[in-house]
Structure 1
Amino acid sequence: MHSRDGCAGSAPRGRRSVLAAAGGLTAGLVGTAGCLGETDSVRVLAAGSLAVALENGVGPAFEADSGLGYEGEYYGTNALLRLVEDGTKYPDVVIGADVDLLRERLYPDCAGWDVEFAANEVVIGYAAETEPGRRLADGEPWYEVFADADDGAIAISDPDLDPLGYRALLLFELAEREHGLEGFRDAMADEVHRVPDEPRLLAGVESGNSACAVAYANMATERDVAVRTLDDAYNFGDPGSADRYARASYTTESGHTVEGSPVIYTATVRRGTDDPDAGRAFVDYLLENDDLLVEHGLRVDDSLPRFHGEPPEAIEP
């Protein structure tokens, strides 16, 4: 078995100064910039779509109930897994928005188990005062509205950094198949505006920079935008449609091919972390207080949590 620098051991001493110097790598940080590495705190590296739920919900509640601090950073899942793999970041807990991607990238060197704890779905957030927004509000098929939109009017997150971004492209592919829209995916891939920072995706709709954005449902409920829901056939929110979602695929610029899959969030404690007890305590708290997730627009049904691998006794089901 080979070892990756970010998973084989603990973080090197003095990494706070290293992180402070690496300004470009902390662009996704929400909250305590440069603080990963504080004592008596849990360090969490999570999917950007969970930023508000963790910063405003789970994190403060965990601090109040546990006496430990909470320090979070948020990126697209593909980007954050790369940061863990190459040793740029040393979190206690890693949370991704694509179950298969996390297992492919972190097992076995960086993780030996994970737990699926919440679900989401893809929606369209839009500005009602724009022409595409008015048409969506009138109930016109969303794919016809998108096909007629000006270049850059539709925003998606970066598919090479973030599962939400490639799910947007897979959404276009599934709609193309469902409705016989020849060339729809390729046309949309050329015309959309790609936003590198997932938490800012819907901010562009609010500010008027974009008419619409393909987002997760919980992100839309947290912003002042109108929402168009999508059919289960292509919203990535129905576990029963997993086989249908998997018919579409995307290959990232690094050559990694991903298939469509339901939006499920999964968490693990990184192997080699400085404080595994803090990591386990946070994951256990996450599972025991799923109402905090539901309050922020996520779904937690009776099928969750689901464990994979061999979780530690502290958080076994």
Structure 2
Amino acid sequence: MVKKVFIMFLLVSAISFAKEKIIIFHAGSLSVPFAQLEKEFEKKYPQYDVVREAAGSRACARKITELKRPADIMASADYKVIDNLLIPEYAKFNIHFVTNEMAIAYTEKSKYADEINARNWPEILLRKGVKVGHSNPNLDPCGYRSMLVAKLVERYYGINGFFEKLFGYGESYENGEENKKKVVVRPKETDLLGLLEAHAIDYLFIYKSVAKQHGLKFLELPKEVSLGDSKLADYYKSATFKITGKKPGTWIVKKGAPMVYGITIVEHGDKLPLNKEGAVKFIKFLLSEKGKEIMERNGQKFIEPSVITGDASILNSE
């Protein structure tokens, strides 16, 4: 009898001390800073267990809208993914919180690594035997941004047909259509890091922040090409690429634009977030001075003040 009572006590104690989960779907490019945020957040709020799942931003959104996966927060490498795929049914607001820019990552063993520079990199990527990686444009913003960068190259460097010569795509990307002798595609940009480090590819279209976080060599692109300068918004618009829409058979035309990340609290139909209080606390922690320090340490510039669109009144409910 005493043994049974003791076991019951242990079970009750375990339940009372069980941590509340905060489920976060986020872009692969946020993996490193969000791991650090998780550690610091749980140190401040030990009652919570942050559970993160990284994927391409559009893939994250579709886990929520199509697969009906439970989540409290979604953070996207392109704020427009939240606007286009989650709002209004699965989210009510969008916070633009950090920026980034595109870069070309490589290693010392990449072909022509000793030659490449900001002037000749388009020509080197077109050379025979050079393998190039990018993420899937239909799943990951880094993928369609890679396409937009390649199109801006034609205008800035005056190289006619660069986009088609490099990728061989038309105005959109269908899975498996890449020239496998030249191009390697994976669901998200961080999936390609291992291939680069294993020398299975020579060059990788990737975010500058990710290249810095992983200690990679990378080529800084001219601001007219990098999608990293808010003053060049009109210039970037000249590049366009089609990606799949909300429903099968529909398309969204992506235009070049300065890179801005977005974050929101997920609402599941007519239900409130699974962990409303925890989600609000995490968002506020992200937007705090500590959150800013972590993001900027990892190569992503904080937007100050943060731009909030939609109804963010939930943030005042804590």
Q: Which bin holds the TM-score, normalised by the shorter protein?
A: 0.7 to 0.9
Q: Which residue matches 2:252?
A: 256
Structure 1, unmatched stretches of 5+, are 1-37
CA RMSD in angstroms, aligned pairs only? 1.9
Aligned equivalents of 1:91, 1:253: Cα separation in 2: 23
**Deviations for 1:84-122, whole angstroms, at most 9, x for unmatched residues?**
111432110011111222201111111111111111110
Normalising to structure 1: TM-score of the pair?
A: 0.82
Q: Which residue matches 1:25?
A: none
Q: How many residue pairs are counted as aligned between the two chains?
A: 275
1:208 paired with 2:199, answer yes
What's the CA shift for 1:54? 0.8
What's the CA shift for 1:192? 2.2
Aligned equivalents of 1:185, 1:62: Cα separation in 2: 43
Q: 1:315 to 1:165 in 2, by over 3 A?
A: farther
Q: Which residue matches 2:41?
A: 62
Structure 2, unmatched stretches of 5+, are 1-17, 169-181, 246-250
**Deviations for 1:115-170, whole angstroms, at most 9, x for unmatched residues?**
11111110111112332322215x5521111122525x111111111010111111
Q: 1:301 to 1:94 in 2, by over 3 A?
A: closer
1:196 paired with 2:187, answer yes
- State whether residues 125 and 202 of structure 1, in contact with CA within 8 Å, keep that contact through their aligned partners in structure 2: no
- State whether residues 25 and 53 of structure 2, in contact with CA within 8 Å, keep that contact through their aligned partners in structure 1: yes
The equivalent position to 1:266 in structure 2, one of 255, 262, 272, is 262
Q: Which residue matches 2:283?
A: 283
* Aligned residue type for 2:293: D
* Aligned residue type for 1:226: K
Q: Which residue matches 1:161?
A: 139
Normalising to structure 2: TM-score of the pair?
A: 0.81
Q: Which residue matches 1:227?
A: 218
Q: Answer with 1 or 2: which has the greater Rg.
A: 2
Aligned equivalents of 2:232, 2:193: Cα separation in 1: 27
Aligned equivalents of 1:264, 1:236: Cα separation in 2: 10
**Deviations for 1:239-270, whole angstroms, at most 9, x for unmatched residues?**
11112222212112552322222221111001
Aligned equivalents of 1:256, 1:140: Cα separation in 2: 32
- State whether residues 135 and 189 of structure 2, in contact with CA within 8 Å, keep that contact through their aligned partners in structure 1: yes
Q: 1:299 to 1:88 in 2, by over 3 A?
A: same
Partner SS, residue 308 of structure 2: strand
Q: Which residue matches 1:312?
A: 313
**Deviations for 1:202-245, whole angstroms, at most 9, x for unmatched residues?**
22211111111011011101223211101111111111111222
What's the CA shift for 1:314? 3.2
Q: 1:183 to 1:109 in 2, by over 3 A?
A: same
Task: Please identify runs of 4+ aligned residues in structure 1 that moved more than 6 A.
Answer: none
- State whether residues 284 and 315 of structure 1, in contact with CA within 8 Å, keep that contact through their aligned partners in structure 2: no
Q: Which residue matches 1:81?
A: 61
- State whether residues 79 and 263 of structure 2, in contact with CA within 8 Å, keep that contact through their aligned partners in structure 1: no
Aligned equivalents of 1:224, 1:294: Cα separation in 2: 16
* Aligned residue type for 1:287: L
| Greater per-residue strand proportion | 2
Partner SS, residue 115 of structure 2: helix
The equivalent position to 2:120 in structure 1, one of 141, 156, 169, is 141
Aligned equivalents of 1:52, 1:236: Cα separation in 2: 22
Aligned equivalents of 1:97, 1:286: Cα separation in 2: 15
What's the CA shift for 1:72? 0.3
Aligned equivalents of 1:244, 1:290: Cα separation in 2: 29
Q: 1:263 to 1:52 in 2, by over 3 A?
A: same
